[in-house]
Protein backbone atom coordinates (compact mmCIF):
# COMPACT_ATOMS: atom_id res chain seq x y z
CA UNK A 1 0.00 0.00 0.00
CA UNK A 2 1.10 3.52 -0.67
CA UNK A 3 2.17 5.74 2.18
CA UNK A 4 3.30 9.34 2.42
CA UNK A 5 5.07 10.67 5.52
CA UNK A 6 5.55 14.33 6.38
CA UNK A 7 7.41 14.53 9.68
CA UNK A 8 7.27 18.30 10.21
CA UNK A 9 3.86 19.35 11.61
CA UNK A 10 4.91 22.99 11.66
CA UNK A 11 7.80 25.21 10.61
CA UNK A 12 8.68 28.85 11.22
CA UNK A 13 10.99 30.51 8.72
CA UNK A 14 12.32 34.05 8.41
CA UNK A 15 11.19 35.94 5.33
CA UNK A 16 13.61 35.69 2.36
CA UNK A 17 15.24 32.52 3.68
CA UNK A 18 15.04 29.21 1.83
CA UNK A 19 12.94 26.45 3.34
CA UNK A 20 12.87 22.68 2.83
CA UNK A 21 9.73 20.67 3.55
CA UNK A 22 10.32 16.95 4.00
CA UNK A 23 8.39 14.14 2.36
CA UNK A 24 9.14 10.42 2.27
CA UNK A 25 7.05 7.85 0.48
CA UNK A 26 6.61 4.13 0.27
CA UNK A 27 5.44 2.19 -2.76
CA UNK A 28 6.27 -1.07 -4.46
CA UNK A 29 5.25 0.23 -7.86
CA UNK A 30 8.14 1.36 -10.12
CA UNK A 31 5.95 3.93 -11.88
CA UNK A 32 4.55 6.76 -9.78
CA UNK A 33 4.22 10.51 -9.56
CA UNK A 34 4.83 12.88 -6.67
CA UNK A 35 2.96 16.14 -6.14
CA UNK A 36 3.22 19.09 -3.82
CA UNK A 37 0.21 21.26 -3.05
CA UNK A 38 -0.23 24.47 -1.07
CA UNK A 39 -3.42 24.97 0.91
CA UNK A 40 -4.11 28.45 2.34
CA UNK A 41 -6.75 28.90 5.00
CA UNK A 42 -9.39 29.41 2.29
CA UNK A 43 -9.17 25.69 1.54
CA UNK A 44 -8.19 25.64 -2.13
CA UNK A 45 -5.54 23.04 -2.92
CA UNK A 46 -3.04 24.81 -5.19
CA UNK A 47 -0.77 22.70 -7.40
CA UNK A 48 2.92 23.61 -7.01
CA UNK A 49 5.12 20.98 -8.63
CA UNK A 50 5.16 17.44 -10.04
CA UNK A 51 7.90 14.81 -10.33
CA UNK A 52 7.55 11.54 -12.23
CA UNK A 53 9.49 8.51 -10.99
CA UNK A 54 11.30 8.17 -14.31
CA UNK A 55 12.14 11.84 -14.70
CA UNK A 56 15.91 12.24 -14.92
CA UNK A 57 16.08 15.75 -13.54
CA UNK A 58 14.57 17.32 -10.46
CA UNK A 59 11.45 19.34 -11.22
CA UNK A 60 11.50 23.12 -10.85
CA UNK A 61 8.69 25.69 -11.06
CA UNK A 62 9.79 29.24 -10.35
CA UNK A 63 10.77 29.49 -6.68
CA UNK A 64 9.79 25.85 -6.10
CA UNK A 65 12.05 22.88 -6.68
CA UNK A 66 11.70 19.25 -5.78
CA UNK A 67 14.71 17.44 -4.35
CA UNK A 68 13.96 13.92 -5.58
CA UNK A 69 16.13 11.14 -4.11
CA UNK A 70 14.68 7.93 -5.48
CA UNK A 71 16.92 5.52 -3.57
CA UNK A 72 15.95 7.18 -0.29
CA UNK A 73 12.30 7.48 -1.37
CA UNK A 74 12.23 11.14 -0.53
CA UNK A 75 10.73 14.09 -2.41
CA UNK A 76 11.45 17.25 -0.46
CA UNK A 77 10.04 20.61 -1.54
CA UNK A 78 12.46 23.54 -1.55
CA UNK A 79 11.11 27.08 -1.58
CA UNK A 80 13.75 29.70 -2.30
CA UNK A 81 13.53 33.27 -1.00
CA UNK A 82 10.39 32.71 1.06
CA UNK A 83 7.65 35.35 1.10
CA UNK A 84 4.91 36.18 3.59
CA UNK A 85 2.36 34.80 1.12
CA UNK A 86 3.99 31.38 1.38
CA UNK A 87 2.43 30.90 4.82
CA UNK A 88 0.03 27.97 4.39
CA UNK A 89 -0.33 24.20 4.77
CA UNK A 90 1.76 22.15 2.37
CA UNK A 91 0.85 18.63 1.33
CA UNK A 92 2.91 15.98 -0.40
CA UNK A 93 0.95 13.41 -2.41
CA UNK A 94 1.67 10.36 -4.55
CA UNK A 95 -0.07 8.60 -7.41
CA UNK A 96 0.84 5.20 -8.81
CA UNK A 97 0.82 5.55 -12.55
CA UNK A 98 -1.26 3.15 -14.55
CA UNK A 99 -4.06 3.77 -16.97
CA UNK A 100 -7.20 4.98 -15.27
CA UNK A 101 -5.67 5.61 -11.85
CA UNK A 102 -6.12 9.13 -10.60
CA UNK A 103 -6.08 8.40 -6.87
CA UNK A 104 -3.76 10.57 -4.81
CA UNK A 105 -2.50 9.50 -1.40
CA UNK A 106 -1.70 12.50 0.80
CA UNK A 107 0.55 13.06 3.77
CA UNK A 108 -0.61 14.82 6.93
CA UNK A 109 0.85 18.14 5.83
CA UNK A 110 3.25 20.77 7.16
CA UNK A 111 2.07 24.16 8.36
CA UNK A 112 4.60 26.76 7.20
CA UNK A 113 4.67 30.19 8.80
CA UNK A 114 6.86 32.92 7.34
CA UNK A 115 8.03 35.49 9.89
CA UNK A 116 8.60 39.11 8.74
Partner 1 sequence: DAGVTQSPTHLIKTRGQQVTLRCSPKSGHDTVSWYQQALGQGPQFIFQYYEEEERQRGNFPDRFSGHQFPNYSSELNVNALLLGDSALYLCASSNNRASGNTIYFGEGSWLTVV
Contacts of 36 (CB under 8 A, 6+ apart): 21, 23, 48, 49, 64, 66, 75, 77, 90, 91, 92, 93
Q: Are 35 and 47 in contact (CB under 8 A)?
A: yes
Q: Which stretch binds partner 1 (CB under 8 A): 22-30, 65-73, 75-83, 95-103?
A: 95-103
Binding to partner 1 in span 52-71, by CB under 8 A: 52
- Least distance from partner 1 to the Cβ atom of residue 82, Å: 22
1 vs 116, beta carbon nearer partner 1: 1
What does the angle CA 48 – CA 53 – CA 10 come to, to the nearest 5 degrees? 45
Instruction: Rule CB under 8 A: say whether 46 interacts with partner 1.
Output: yes
Stretch that binds partner 1, among 15-23, 65-73, 76-84, 100-108 (CB under 8 A): 100-108
Amino acid sequence: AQKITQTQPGMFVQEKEAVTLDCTYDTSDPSYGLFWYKQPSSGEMIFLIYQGSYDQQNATEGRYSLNFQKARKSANLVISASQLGDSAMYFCAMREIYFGNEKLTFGTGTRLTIIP
